[in-house]
Each structure stands twice: as C-alpha cells, then as structure tokens.
Amino acid sequence: MKAVRIHQFGGPEVLTYEDIADPQLRKDQILVRVKACALNHLDLWVRKGLPGVKLPHILGSDVAGEIAEVGEYVSGFEPGQRVLLAPMHYCGHCAKCVAGLQNQCREFTVLGNAVDGGNCELIAVPAANVIPIPDSLDFVQAASVPLVFVTAWHMLVGLAGVGPGQTVLVLGGSSGVGIAAIQIAKLFHCRVITTAGDETKLEKARALGADHGINHYKQKISEEVRRITNKEGVDVAVEHVGAATWDESMRSLKTAGTLVTCGATTGPDVKIDLRHLFARQLRLLGSYMGTMGELHEVLGHVFAGRLKPVVDRAFPLNEIRRAHEYLEKSRMFGKVVLSL
C-alpha cells in the first residue's frame, strides 16, 4: 500500500510518501480502506519528536473510510460499510478500560502517536474502534470530527460539567477544539465568549453560535471578559493555547470558576499565583482526549446535525508536506484533512 512514514524526526521534509507492506489483519480486527485522515497539532508534535514514538512511524489520528475486510472473530460489520475510527488505542481489559475510562488506561495513546496512524491506504484496528457513519457526512467531514469533538466534549461535559446559563470562554475559537467547544457549549445553552486573531475568524465563530468575540491581538482578553460579564468573569475557560493565553484565561475566571486545559500549542511553561488559586477558589483541570462512551455521545449529536464538522480544506495524501506547512501557519478556520 501507499503510506506516508517518518524515518526521522524533523520538519515537513521528513514526511515520506512510499510503498510499504499491507497491514496483517488479526482475527479480532477490522481492516479499513482509508478515504480521509484529518491533521491535528499532535501530528506536528509527533513529527518533531515525542518520546515513545518508534521509527519508522505512520502519523494520523482521525480516520474515515470503508471496511475492506472483517476478521473472523468479529460480527456485526460488513465490507463496504462507511465508517470512522475512534482515534485512540487502549488495552480493553484493565480496570479503567472495563469501567469505560479508556483515557486512564496505562496503555492509552492516540492513534498515530505511540501506535501507527492513518496516513496510509489500509489500517487494521479492533472492532470497538470502528463506528459506522451516516450518508449525510462525506469522508472528509467524518475524518474531521473524532479527536477534537471528543476532546471538547470531555472538557466541557465530562470534566467541567457545564450547564444552562453558564458563561464559557473558549480560547482559540478558530481551532478544531475551539470550533467543537463553541458548539457544545451552545448545545448546553451556555453564553459563549471566544477569541481569535482576526475579524474574519471571529465572524465565522459567531456564525457557529459564539455570542461574543475578542480579537486577542487588539484586545486584552481578561479586560474584555470583565466588560462583557459585568465584572463577574466566566464559569469555565477552555484552554489549549498554553503560555500565550494562560494568565489571561486565569484572570477571566469568576470566583470558584473552572479552567480546563487540553493543550499547550504556544508552549507549556506557565506561572500560577497560588494566592489567586486558593483565595479565588479556582479549579484547574487537566484533560486528555475522552472516553469511548463520550465519543459515542458526541458523535450522536454530530450524526443528528446538532453539531457540525468544519473543514477548512483538504489536500491529497501525497501533498502531505504542504498540508503540514499550511497547518503550522495557523491560517485556517477548522480542520485540515488529507484525502485519498
């Protein structure tokens, strides 16, 4: 099959489009012909080098395609079915996995991180990872959904427990997680304030349901939040930007507010003033992906059309270097997807 592999860590030039052997299908697995695979910032981190990644390695977490072959021990699926893949790897039998907390499994990793991913024509995965998709979604749209939507759902619903009437600050409203978080917060009847780097992106974020937009290059986020909330602050801040916005996110919280974070795109080193943490009774929550149950829950809303995938553009798989360069420039609104 054709695949893109990295044989060393580095810039986009290490992405190599080449012929490799087809994956061997185990009897408890399903072989999927990949039609689309979305990019995430994780692809950039893995390409540049993360511990636990064995070379050569295939990137790509978010896969949609068609079932090519069903393993002997698997029932309930047939070749030709249109599906997407749960973007995670877990053991399936430890205490955490059987309790439905797959993202706390000791073997847990994201597809394309410590295990090979979907930047290739064929991928073999356990049946539990395979989820049929409705005809209303094309493969590019379907591939754009799983990682960012399960991440945002776990942050807002699973951890922060958002409810009607709350105010939610979504940092980076034009990113994949931001776009999912805005829509999920609106689904739960929250008021949403979001940030982006230009007026066009803010306009698109408002079209998705955001009530207020802050231009983070021209305005100070916490000051705008104070103005919008009548000095009260927000109930929940959804962080994934990291060092560049951390202080502003903390300052934007109301007393006993919650900051939930799933990333550090602009860097991991931040300061926390402990006096503010305890005196203002803030809650800081770390979030990593989500559970299989949460994935099914959020996909139900996507399949019903209540949450919408947002695709910026698609590149053919053999132009993956251009796709990585495009993602690194952060000009997009929504997901960048590879199509096969």
The residues of the shown chain that bind Zn ion, judged by CB under 5 A, are 90-91, 94, 97, 105
Under a CB-based contact definition with an 8 Å cutoff, are residues 339 and 36 in contact? yes
In the complex, minimum distance from the CB of residue 153 to Zn ion, in angstroms, rounded to a whole number = 20
CA distance 163 to 55: 44
CA distance 340 to 60: 13
**First CA to last CA across the chain, in angstroms?**
12
- Residue type at 24 in one-letter notation: Q
In the complex, minimum distance from the CB of residue 90 to Zn ion, in angstroms, rounded to a whole number = 5
Residue 105 tokens read as 């499994």
Q: How many C-beta atoms lie closer than 10 Å to residue 183's C-beta?
A: 24
**Which CB, 54 or 93, lies closer to Zn ion?**
93
**Which CB, 94 or 270, lies closer to Zn ion?**
94
CA distance 309 to 211: 19
CA distance 150 to 170: 16
Q: Where are the alpha helices (DSSP H) in the chain?
A: 41-48, 95-98, 139-143, 146-153, 176-187, 199-207, 221-228, 246-251, 274-279, 292-303, 320-329
**Which CB, 103 or 144, lies closer to Zn ion?**
103
Under a CB-based contact definition with an 8 Å cutoff, are residues 62 and 143 in contact? yes
**Which CB, 94 or 284, lies closer to Zn ion?**
94
In the complex, minimum distance from the CB of residue 85 to Zn ion, in angstroms, rounded to a whole number = 18
In the complex, minimum distance from the CB of residue 100 to Zn ion, in angstroms, rounded to a whole number = 11
33, 74, 263, 286 from 269: Cα distances, Å: 40, 46, 12, 15
**Which CB, 92 or 197, lies closer to Zn ion?**
92
**Which CB, 86 or 120, lies closer to Zn ion?**
86
**Which CB, 1 or 94, lies closer to Zn ion?**
94
In the complex, minimum distance from the CB of residue 18 to Zn ion, in angstroms, rounded to a whole number = 33
In the complex, minimum distance from the CB of residue 104 to Zn ion, in angstroms, rounded to a whole number = 8
Q: What is the CA radius of gyration of the chain?
A: 20
Q: Which is nearest to 15 in space by CA: 50, 49, 52, 58?
A: 58
In the complex, minimum distance from the CB of residue 94 to Zn ion, in angstroms, rounded to a whole number = 3
